[in-house]
Structure 1
Amino acid sequence: MASSSSHFHYHKSRNDDAEFESLFDELLEIPDDIPEPKMRKKRAFIERHREEGDIKLWNDYFSETPTYPHNIFRRRFRMSKPLFMRIVHRLSTEVEYFAPTQDAVGRSSLSPLQKCTAAIRQLAYGGGADTVDEYVRCGETTARKCLHQFTAGIIHLFGDEFLRRPTPEDLERLLHIGEQRGFPGMIGSIDCMHWEWKNCPSSWKGMYSRGTDKPTIVLEAVASYDLWIWHAFFGGPGTMNDLNILERSPVFDDIIYGRSPQVDFTVNGREYNFAYYLTDDERRTETEDETFQGQDTSFCVKIPTELFTPVTVDDEK
């Protein structure tokens, strides 16, 4: 039996070759509308001669014969020189960021004086981080980091000492001063202020704006006659009034839960066991004095804050 098979023949023509080559060229052709990848920019390096800046800063304010006297130092740094040096010493020995270091080639980094001066100048004058570049010799990013590290370090090192509740000895002193000033039983003044928040997120503006289109953050503070602020409650939305803030503030928690220290004083023949805070709007209180003085001595409190989160603003405050 003979088998049968089918044979198929494919005849290749020149037209087929031309069509194939045309399709191949179209696939390989790069369209003109595809943008070329952009070259990644290298980080610009500016030689600021920070060592010379450190020497100039030392000769201007901290040498045995400084260029500028103590009164100019206090005006520009908003504090006395011994206090500033105490802060610099604590930060440089207890906060790693402010410790003197060297880079890989053995070159010294910014000195603790330069870093602290960069932070203080921003707090004192309310200028941007770039404003300290020409004198302190540090870039904008570094100056901003100095500010954040400075405020965080101050809170860490001095918060327990100054932001603490009065001890029995403190209460006795405050009560004595209050009685001498005609307010027996008063241990301080309490008040609230609104701080404009320039860079408030758009979705939050309704919650932080009241009466105006400018969002604000509320600061509640208790201050004594010597401007010791031992209580600060910060971060409330600007839509809240003073009573709303007091309802959320922990300032009266000790009284509510029975932990408040007992004090005894007499007014008009009647004995009282709890101290009080002065809130009379007709009298300029210590808290208002502190607020006005703080706005005069620290310009960053007077101008709108440009930070983005209440937590960060709280630290800078």
Structure 2
Amino acid sequence: MRILLLGANGQLASDILRLWRDQPGIDLLPATRAGADVTDLAAVRALVERTRPGVVINTTAFHNLPLCEQDPATAMTVNVVGGWNVATAAREAGAAVVQFSTDYVFDGEKRTPYLESDARRAVNIYGAAKIATEDAVRIANPDHLIVRVSGLYGLAGSAGKGGNFVETMLRLAREGQPIRVIADQVTAPTNTAHIAEALLPHLRDGLRGTVHLAADGETSWYDFARAIFELRGLSPDCQPTTAAEFGGPVRRPAYSVLGSERVPRLPHWRLGLERYLREKHGPLS
């Protein structure tokens, strides 16, 4: 299977590269923005025509939530137009497209895990952009797989967010600062390595449509932070706060846990965290 991977220097794509590179029958072609800007249809077409993949995976996104609120035009261009361009170029070349989406397409009013068939309703610009991206991809290329994920963290970190939540918590703990973490937003933080490992068999099996790949279980960001400190043997001054008290320019869904009616959920979020910490920082405390 010849696979073109867009956004190859990102957090999720880095784990796809790391874990798929030596898999039998997989010819993985990484491409960064320097190779083709997804907002440039001609450039994407040229890259796809040159590489002739059977599958194009689009991991690119404009996902810094405060910047999305400040600059919705860029959020829509990179996510929606970029997704349309990738799906279109793939269709024209006879290739399938895999587009990543987010738990933020849901409004958080539900209190049981969201399934693939649940109605979408975003509460922020990023979520609205990803709803539109999903629809654009479905229209542009019938041979598609849309993969919704949640709370990503991986070894490479997120360039657009300056790392990831785990590393931010560890840095604050080292600095000895009082830490306040939101306790009334519940999700399932997911190790990108587990997503990469689960996705490949689904691609080999020809899975299409929309699917949720997220960690099992659920937790608040505060309890996730406490687990990080516990596993690293740290005892910082970490206290819970609410989204209202914490403030900020972006509304987030209060509950965005993803379940699935199509595939098994990934390993439990705590197992994902333990794996990440071992791989990134060595033996657990």
TM-score by length of 1: 0.29
**Structure (1/2) with the larger strand percentage:** 2
**Structure (1/2) with the larger helix percentage:** 1
Q: Decide which structure has the larger Cα Rg and report it.
A: 1
TM-score by length of 2: 0.31
Structure showing greater relative contact order (alpha-carbon pairs closer than 8 Å, 6 or more residues apart): 2
